[in-house]
Structure 1
Amino acid sequence: MHTRKLGPFTVTAIGLGCMNLSHAYGTPPSPEQGRKVLHAALDAGVTLFDTAALYGFGANESLVGPVLKPHRREITLCSKGGMAGVTGDDGVTRRVIDGRPEAIRRNCEDSLRRLQTDVIDLYYLHRWDKSVPIEESVGALSRLVGQGKVRAIGLSEVSAATVRKAHAVHPVAAVQTEYSLWTRNPEIAVLAACREIGAAFVAFSPVARGFLCDALHDVTTLDAKDIRKTMPRFAPENYARNLQLLPPYKAIAREAGCTPAQLALAWLLHKGPDIIPIPGTTSVEHLREDLAAADVRLSPRTIASLEALINQDTVAGDRYSDQSNREVDTEVF
């Protein structure tokens, strides 16, 4: 397996985003199927696993923890706090962004218990709570490092300015943000900020939430609980326009001798040795397909063709709803 540096860790060039196994894209697979995917990743040599307190309101960490426990010395385990499920007086659990130090500390303790581990290798602030100075939230993360509960810290969906403020408090090992051919926002400033401070860049949703896998042709079939139903790019009118990008995209994949999903991942790997994609899947077959992208080689001409075809000017619709856009700190075109 090809490897890359992630803060103090050496990890496989492609990691596994575990969210899909418990969260976000409609009814999740059975725990049995989730364990099959995790074991297949381990068998394939994957050493980077990414989860969060939010995913399934703790269910994902509870799924991932016992499977990875026997392999803790061989893998890098990442989780996130500062955004988690909170159960109200009405008994309903809702997503809450809370960057106060006491909330981050509580989130971490809960994650350690669910993950069945004494330490989380890389712990991210899942979202910056804009009512709390970033320095205070990062200060809480640094204390977790000092207590031996966390080895390195990261940030998710933040701007270059916030990265620099955070790094002044404690070294930031990684920044995680959506990045793919159809979401190029990191290229505005965050990638440069990461390289300036020596942080790795972890790309989530690297296959554009399934779009670049050629896996979704009719958005009206999406499950009612699928988060893509709230995303403007997946609104029927926008998606119909975006689908027109797929035939030429698939032609480039055929020319490159790979699948559409592999083309998307290979493009990211070619964008820099500090970029680590973490695709998610519920399928062992798709997992193996994704991992094989590390062996795909793209010519400069192929990369130029891809970037001219799919970019911020050719994709219809924003990546997030207005509400979700208010919750992130990333630069926009």
Structure 2
Amino acid sequence: MTLPTRVLGSLEVSAQGLGCMGMSQSYGPADRDESVATINAAIDAGVTLLDTADVYGLGHNEQLVGEAIRTRRDEVVLATKFGFKRILDPDDGGVRGDAEYVRSACDASLRRLGVDHIDLYYAHRIDPAVPVEETVGAMASLVEAGKVRHIGLSEAGAESIRRAYAVHPVTALQSEWSLWTRDIEGDILATCRELGVGIVPFSPLGRGFLTGRLSSAEFGDGDMRAKLPRFTGENRDRNQAIVEALTAVAAKLGITPGQLALAWVQNQGDDVVPIPGTKRRTYLAENVAAATIELTADDLAAITSVAQDFAGARYSPDLSKLVGK
């Protein structure tokens, strides 16, 4: 199968990527064999963009992805990230963006992935203690050295994007964007489009909530959603009612609620490449099918009119403090 392609900056990728984080952390127990099979099924389905990070599973996810693509490296655009200090100390929630650390983190990721270059290398968050120019300058030196092909930022604000771009072209901004998280739609999105920076939305399915499959789910140990405001108490009840209304819209269109949520993101522009995460082949097939769903202006208006007033903050305060810097 061949998916349509889109261009992030100057980097051509499939119109939908695969987020691999959940194969190692945050969403309960993982199955290594099923994860590897899911990655390979994604490639078989035409997905070329695979997304990981050094901190996912404290290195485990990069090793897993590297293993899965060992004989298929030329078929994928490999994206990973650096910055969270938990990779060095699981109890340290801070970030690092100094030049020395950028270079050492890249070398460590290359080793775990088992590759000689990273196609798209992101600063996972902007380090408030280090000028973004230093961070991006170090990333640019990795491009010059052939270790990295393109650079990106994750969850950066408009000013940081501009300052970064003045040092080296930024290929993509990875930020959360979905029907229930639309924070980037002001200055951040406008800045990216002015500069030609592609958009890579993570959690386009609202961490699974927008699929409609979590109505009675209880989150077990190791599932980060148990601590997120939108998934608890009255917030959850309010949000579930909205998802039920979206499910009715999806039924009229002959698609699943998850496909509706993904198609909405995909239809926000040709510079948008969402990376829904899954660790199961069953859900992968459903997600990939959404990459070619076209929504009319009336469809988009109907969806947006329903997807209003979601309750609860996106993150807890400690997780929010580094977003949009």
Normalised by the length of structure 2, the TM-score is 0.96
User: Where do 5+ consecutive residues of structure 2 fail to align?
Assistant: none
Instruction: Give the Cα separation in 1 of the matches to 2:97 and 2:215.
Output: 38
Give 1:26 shift. Answer: 2.2
Q: Is the 8 A contact 1:84 1:107 kept in 2?
A: no
- Specify the alignment match of 1:31 in structure 2: 32
Q: How does 1:58-73 map to 2 (within 5 A)?
A: 58-73=59-74
Matched, 1:322 2:317: yes
TM-superposed deviation, 1:218: 3.4
- Identity among equivalent pairs (%): 45
Distance between the aligned counterparts of 1:85 and 1:162, measured in 2? 23
Cα-Cα RMSD: 1.4
CA distance in 1, matches of 2:246, 2:306: 7
Q: Deviations over 1:165-208 (max 9, x none)?
A: 11011110000000000001110121111111111100000000
Decide whether the 8 Å contact of 1:54 with 1:95 is kept in 2: no
CA deviation string 1:98-125 (max 9, x = no partner): 1111111111111000111110000000
Q: Are 2:235 and 2:311, in contact at CA under 8 Å, matched by a contact in 1? A: yes
Report how many aligned residue pairs link the two structures. 323
Checking the alignment, whether the CA contact within 8 Å between 2:52 and 2:62 is kept in structure 1 is yes
1:328: how far off?
A: 1.5
Aligned residues of 1:57 and 1:84 also touching (Cα < 8 A):
no
The two structures have a TM-score, normalised by structure 1, of: 0.94
How far apart in 2 are the matches of 1:200 and 1:185? 16
Q: Classify 1:42/1:128 alpha carbon distance in 2 versus 1 (closer, same or farther; 3 Å).
A: same
* C-alpha displacement of 1:295: 2.0
| Corresponding position of 1:45 | 46
The structural deviation recorded for 1:94 is: 4.6
In the TM superposition, what is the alpha-carbon distance from 1:86 to its structure 2 partner? 3.9
Q: Counterpart of 2:171 in 1: which secondary structure?
A: strand
Paired position in structure 1 for 2:144? 146
Matched, 1:270 2:271: no
- Residue 177 of structure 1: SS of its match in structure 2? strand
1:304 maps onto 2:319 in alignment: no
| Alpha-carbon distance in structure 1 between the residues aligned to 2:177 and 2:34 | 27
Q: 1:11 aligns with which of 13, 17, 20?
A: 13
Task: State the secondary structure of the residue aligned to 1:117.
Answer: coil
Match of 1:290 in 2: 287
Q: Write the letter of the residue equivalent to 2:269.
A: G
Given residue 125 of structure 1, which amino acid in structure 2 is its aligned partner? A
SS at match of 2:252: helix
CA distance in 2 between counterparts of 1:242 and 1:67 reads 36
Identify the residue that residue 204 of structure 1 maps to in structure 2.
Answer: 202
Deviation string, structure 1 residues 266-325 (Cα, Å, up to 9, x no partner): 1111110000000011110100100000221212111111112113xx110110111111
8 Å contact kept, 1:86–1:95: no
Residue 256 of structure 2 corresponds to 259
Q: Distance in 1 between matches of 2:46 and 2:322?
A: 35
Who is 2:125 aligned against? 127
The answer to whether the 8 A contact 2:212-2:244 is kept is no
1:117 to 1:95, Cα distance in 2 relative to 1, 3 A: farther
Superposition deviation, residue 227 in structure 1:
1.4
Q: Secondary structure at the match of 1:180?
A: coil
Q: Aligned equivalents of 2:24 and 2:143: distance in 1?
A: 28
Is contact 1:77–1:121 with CA below 8 Å preserved after alignment? yes
Name the SS of the counterpart of 1:56 in structure 2: helix
Which segments of 5 or more consecutive residues in structure 1 lack a partner in the other structure? Answer: none
Distance 2:324 2:6 in 1: 26
1:158 aligned residue: 156
Equivalent in the alignment of 1:20? 22
What's the secondary structure of 2:277's corresponding residue? Answer: coil
